[in-house]
Structure 1
Amino acid sequence: MTFSICVREPYEDDDGDQQYRFGVAITTRLPAVGVPCPHVNEHGAVATQSLTNERLGSKGIEYLADGLGIEDALQGLLNADDGSASRQLHGVSRDGEFTFSGDECNGWYGHTSGENYTVAGNLLTGEAVVERTAEQYEDLAFGDEPLAKRLIDALGAGQAAGGDKREDLTIQSAAVNVVDTGEDERAYYDNLRVDASEDPIVDLRETYRLAKQGYEDALERYEESEDEDGADDEE
């Protein structure tokens, strides 16, 4: 049904303070995957999928904000969930990773993790989808491009490796969501969705390009307006 990646990127800002980028990207052969499945805040990123229970994601990041470790938070939610055998749940916090694929998920299903990331998928053409998503992120980790762009590229690598196996379902969706604790305001391109498309990753990549361009154009326009106002004040 779905494959997704969750990422943590710690870094120091110009003042030497510890900051984090958290992000999640996801795609599926159903509409509007960005509504119930990806969850992110300044404490972590979580994806809930397979037979999706949205509460596992929303409560998961809420518990992270309350100071729980990610394993305690997510495993505790699964322990209280009667449908946990049909769930996939994975994510990252400031100090850990968590992956879970229930025994009743539909094949191919599985997950992997590495330093600062987790990847999981179900109803895929094979293990290569998860592996290529992870490998692409590892190649791009902490790169010059914004995290949202690199997460979309990681999804693209998984899609190129086969993606979701249900070719009879043509209406698909994808989403990316990023939070950066070192930024005062959130960039327009850090929270994007393509809710219904026959090629959602291509469309998400184009949506990202346009959103980034629009954000940069708006910043430039505001700076020009401030400069003009300053010049008027001096006259």
Structure 2
Amino acid sequence: MTFSVVARDPVTGQLGIGVSSCILAVGRAVPAAVPGVGVVAVQARSRRGLGAALLAGLADGTTPADLVRRAAHAAEDVDRQIAVLDASGAVAADTGPGSFPVSGHLTGEGFSVQGNMLASADVLPAMSQAFSATGGDLADGLLAALTAGQDAGGDLRGRQSAALLVVSGSPATDEDDGVRMDLRVDDSGDPVAQLRMLRNLQRAYDERDYETLAVFAPEGARDLYAALAASRRGDRVAARAALEAVRSRPGWSTWLASMSGDSRLSGVSQLLD
């Protein structure tokens, strides 16, 4: 009923999972991760508490292979499909005999792809190849795998939801919860494509790509990003016009005044002084 990929970035140490399915809100059911500990995919007809138990086992120092072996011998987990990845990149997966066909898993160096009730046997090899061929950012590799899986047929029943979760390879602290990305598409006719759009929007926020945000941010904030983009490229006339549009909205002048010390807005605000 689901196809997913778990992986570790060997450069940054980040851990992540991408998943898609023809169920509502798959991001609630399949992926789970703890920064500095590991990430798990729990799918098919696995019991809902299995993910937490697997992460607790990783936190206690049990290897992914041992955790998967234990689950394979547990009578209550006969219908399971799981993948377990620890912070070092060690990975193990298992597809129980009760999983819906076409089903299976493929593991590689620091990653695993798995799925059940797939449209064809081509889905998992396509995902594995796409992830291995994608360099750079972990989230991009996870999305490439999901896209390849969907293009190869994906879930036999169709499309509904997808999710992308990336956490730090180091434990969370009081200053940093370790979550690098947590995006979900709960109900869509093309959830993987929608997830890719969200990932691109997240990148624009992270990289302060004001030109992109001036087009794709929520409507109420677009003029602000247009002002920031124009200011950055030295277009004072466009920056002033966009900022005037922001200030014309009820309550926004007060907000702009309260943000006068923000380095991103100080230069723009001076255009109206």
TM class by smaller structure: 0.7 to 0.9
Q: Post-superposition shift, 1:36?
A: 1.6
AA in 2 matched with 1:193: R
Provide structure 2 residue ranges, at least 5 long, that are not aligned to the other structure: 211-224, 229-258, 267-273
Structure 1 residues 97 and 152, CA gap change in structure 2 (3 angstroms): same
| Aligned mates of 1:227, 1:162 — CA distance in 2 | 45
Percent of counterpart pairs with the same letter?
Answer: 31
> In structure 1, what is the equivalent of residue 60 of structure 2?
66
Higher helix fraction: Structure 1 or Structure 2?
Answer: 2
AA in 1 matched with 2:191: P
| Aligned mates of 1:6, 1:188 — CA distance in 2 | 15
| Aligned mates of 1:29, 1:206 — CA distance in 2 | 19
Q: Which has the larger radius of gyration?
A: 2
Q: Post-superposition shift, 1:226?
A: 4.7
| Aligned mates of 2:69, 2:78 — CA distance in 1 | 12
Describe the SS at the equivalent of 1:163: coil
Q: Post-superposition shift, 1:217?
A: 2.5
> In structure 2, what is the equivalent of residue 7 of structure 1?
7
TM-score (norm 1): 0.81
Q: Deviations over 1:162-183 (max 9, x none)?
A: 111114xx5x100011112369
Q: For 1:92, which of 71, 85, 91 is the aligned residue?
A: 85
> In structure 2, what is the equivalent of residue 107 of structure 1?
101
> In structure 2, what is the equivalent of residue 197 of structure 1?
188
Task: Tell me whether 1:39 sits opposite 2:39 in the alignment.
Answer: no
Task: Tell me whether 1:160 sits opposite 2:151 in the alignment.
Answer: yes
Q: Is the 8 A contact 1:2 1:164 kept in 2?
A: yes
Q: Post-superposition shift, 1:72?
A: 1.9
Q: Post-superposition shift, 1:201?
A: 0.3
Describe the SS at the equivalent of 1:104: coil
| Aligned mates of 1:5, 1:50 — CA distance in 2 | 14
AA in 1 matched with 2:103: Y
Q: Deviations over 1:45-102 (max 9, x none)?
A: 11000013232212211221221111223333453451x2211011221252111111
> In structure 2, what is the equivalent of residue 30 of structure 1?
23
* Number of residue pairs the alignment of both structures matches: 214
| Aligned mates of 2:31, 2:264 — CA distance in 1 | 40
| Aligned mates of 1:95, 1:211 — CA distance in 2 | 25
| Aligned mates of 2:190, 2:264 — CA distance in 1 | 42
Q: Post-superposition shift, 1:213?
A: 1.1
Q: Is the 8 A contact 1:7 1:91 kept in 2?
A: no
> In structure 1, what is the equivalent of residue 113 of structure 2?
119
> In structure 1, what is the equivalent of residue 166 of structure 2?
178
AA in 1 matched with 2:200: R
Q: Post-superposition shift, 1:212?
A: 1.7
More displaced, 148-157 or 24-33? 148-157
Q: For 1:75, which of 69, 73, 77 is the aligned residue?
A: 69
Q: Post-superposition shift, 1:8?
A: 1.7
AA in 1 matched with 2:165: N
